[in-house]
Structure 1
């Protein structure tokens, strides 16, 4: 009967996943349809749609396709210096890098995204992505066992999320849960318990997001286990499994089953330990290989003899294949990063060439304007000089004409005077010689 229930639950879970994948595929097809309607010259809009497709593939855990579309979008956003869109895309790539255990690569990508967002106007949307990136940095540093750094960035994320406009209750809960994990991993159990109480006492969060309650409850229970406080165990684990089953959250039940197996192994209840370890292995085969890897290693420690050797061999083989795949992805990511840097350098070179072209053009334009002004001014000066000379010549001609006129007038006056004198002399002479008549 138990097996029937288990397989029925597994069938329901797979059906749910298939329906979810079908829904995501419809969204992807819809975006591709929209892209086909966009003009090929509108590169920026096409890049935004590629970013959306990358998001959908990331949700559906199809990492190669997610990388492909994110990187297509990234190249265009860099080319057009579309800063906010570039930061969002880098965040998506960093999440994929984290999932592929490329923590160093993810760290570099996340810091680049933060540096871009810091330069922008701090709108609610910009600050939202800064909070997401700080949360991811917290996860990365936690995986690198740099717990103080992890907690620092998780606190930064939490501080921003609490001031954002909108509903970020679930997002805040996720960051608190990440802090809870970082605390117990670093051995700060008191802080881990305090953080769990913050989550648990938020009834709205617990009721609205039961999957988050499962995560927090599992982390809290494991912190109790590690601190040798077993009074509430395995009850808390079983409670988390019950909630997980009620919401068909099979994925998050993997780690709880693993922790239950560890607990029963520590209590030397090997049959119960095997039951939960195999249950974790069976469920993890439908999900991420990392969880399967942990389940195989756990079984190699719980089982004995040949079975233990078989699980250990399977663990080694899977671990080797995962490492090769991760190395391949890291190399590919590094190659793409190199190509991206080349594109950035080319863009800088083009920008520099354009700047110099603009400077030279402006210089030539200013020089040409100065030459034009000088030539025009010289022409005006020559024209003014010519006009002045002409005026002087006219004045000289006028003065000459005036002088000639005066001479003529003088000659006329002299001639008149001469004629008058002659007439006068003639009249006097006639009077002198004429005989007197008596």
Structure 2
């Protein structure tokens, strides 16, 4: 029966352990992530582009780098690629082609896992191709231009890549291959409708014709200049004048020098330092000595200045990258510390939950055990009471009834003397029955408690035994706990029953004393006493000890054979 009652707390403990272990497992990420708030990333990208348009390249670099870091936090691959493409472009604009290549290569792993952003892929491949053109690595330039050519983008962008491929062929002096590409481009509707793209194709085609000594060369070069002048395309005019210089450098030195000067002026106007240096190199080679020295000095000055500017920019960009990386690492470290603290707190909470679950389970187990124990004790007490009542009925009341019946059967009840004896015997039977009933009935713990207690103890008086009671009225019984009063009543009853059955005393004294917050009861009689071994065999006294302990009291026995019997009881009230 007890094992069945323990099933519930065991189930509770197992359920608690299961929940704790389940909480320790990492929760799987949901397949449908929440939509990211990319407002800040987009703001940084827009600021970077605006600054680039205003030619504030260092500030533009800063914001694109911030946008990259913010996109990394959001794990937005497309914006990471976008940011890296612009950073690489800024580095290339400042002549840092190796730095631009490193930045573009940094984006390649992101391209492998992102097919939803073809423009980003196109920008990275195109940037790498242009870098390799400027560093004379024509093989790699051609490789990346061809890779960008197969990406699905706008037709005008594809035609731009084909033009770049033609530039690679021109660098390799494969002019016929370049002419084949450029000639086809001049027939495309999108090119014809875009003056900038069309003038660029015409200029490159005219230069290729010049290299293969085709007489159509000058017409294409002049047509390109005309369109660019109409569009105020100063950057494009630099290339046109540069090609016209080469066209005239063998046939008309003055006209060649004129176009070299025009190219230098446009490069100066649009702050194209590399083009300025290249134009100055042409002027140095094709000018009189006095002018050549002047151009040489200017060349050295600009070259020295641009080297310092580029070195400063490169260092500045490196610092921006370093600061960004440092900030990112600090944020990651702080995030890791936060996660660790959260895990520690979670572990503490789990431990606390487990301890609470164990405590609750143990409380239920102990509670059930105590309830079961109390029930067993009640059953045992009821059983002992039944045995005691049966024994009293058999040993005392049955004997009295038998003697009375025998007296009635053998004696003449018509005489007054015998009638009196019979009435006396019947009165004795009634008294015994009444005492047995009171001894095992419920105890009144209210206002009648004191009187009932006195009556119970006085009932043990007889012609042979005198029971004296002292101090009972000095105790404030209404303020004593009911359970304590009932327990004390049963204890005194057990002691007096034991006295009547075993002590053979003629005098028993019960003294009540209040000692601070404790009640002291001293019992003594002048009976035969008993040894400790004999006491251990008396169930009644064992019950007395158990009852006193149940109200947190103490009891001591003083007894020896033929020396009387004493009991000292103390318990809180």
**Does TM, scored on the shorter chain, surpass 0.5?**
yes
Matches of 1:118 and 1:415 in 2, distance apart?
111
**1:9 aligned partner:** none
Give the 3 Å change call, closer, same or farther, for CA 198–377 of structure 1 in structure 2: farther
**1:175 aligned partner:** 161
Give deviations 1:144-171, integer Å, cap 9, x for gaps.
22222222222222222x2x5xxx2322
Question: Is 1:325 equivalent to 2:309 in the alignment?
Answer: yes
Matches of 2:399 and 2:204 in 1, distance apart?
138
CA shift, 1:408, in A, is 4.5
Matches of 2:364 and 2:172 in 1, distance apart?
87
Matches of 2:348 and 2:132 in 1, distance apart?
55
Matches of 1:188 and 1:365 in 2, distance apart?
74
CA shift, 1:393, in A, is 0.8
Matches of 1:375 and 1:306 in 2, distance apart?
102
Question: Is 1:344 equivalent to 2:328 in the alignment?
Answer: yes
**2:84 aligned partner:** 90
CA contact (8 A) 1:79 1:347 kept: no
Matches of 2:404 and 2:184 in 1, distance apart?
140
CA shift, 1:131, in A, is 1.6
Matches of 1:112 and 1:272 in 2, distance apart?
47
Higher share of residues assigned strand = 2
RMSD of Structure 2 on Structure 1 (CA): 2.9
Question: Is 1:221 equivalent to 2:214 in the alignment?
Answer: no
**2:556 aligned partner:** none
Matches of 2:84 and 2:231 in 1, distance apart?
33
Give the 3 Å change call, closer, same or farther, for CA 229–359 of structure 1 in structure 2: farther
Give deviations 1:367-413, integer Å, cap 9, x for gaps.
22222222222222221221121111111112112323433554555
CA contact (8 A) 2:205 2:217 kept: no
Q: Among 409, 418, 421, which residue is 1:424 paired with?
A: 409
Give the 3 Å change call, closer, same or farther, for CA 198–400 of structure 1 in structure 2: farther
* TM-score (normalizing by structure 2): 0.60
Question: Is 1:55 equivalent to 2:70 in the alignment?
Answer: no
CA shift, 1:250, in A, is 3.0
Q: Among 286, 291, 311, which residue is 2:269 paired with?
A: 286
Secondary structure of 1:101's match? coil
Q: Among 112, 115, 129, which residue is 2:109 paired with?
A: 115
Matches of 2:319 and 2:233 in 1, distance apart?
37
Larger radius of gyration: 2
Q: Among 181, 184, 188, which residue is 1:195 paired with?
A: 181
Give the 3 Å change call, closer, same or farther, for CA 361–87 of structure 1 in structure 2: farther
Question: Structure 1: which 4+ aligned runs deviate by more than 6 Å?
Answer: 427-430
Matches of 2:184 and 2:51 in 1, distance apart?
34
**1:211 aligned partner:** 196
**2:172 aligned partner:** 186
Matches of 2:191 and 2:79 in 1, distance apart?
33
Matches of 1:427 and 1:152 in 2, distance apart?
145
CA shift, 1:198, in A, is 4.3
CA contact (8 A) 1:180 1:220 kept: no
Count residues in correspondence.
377
Question: Is 1:148 equivalent to 2:142 in the alignment?
Answer: no
**1:18 aligned partner:** none
Unaligned runs of 5+ in 2: 1-36, 416-573
What is the correspondence of 1:34-45 to structure 2 with a 5 Å cutoff? 45=39
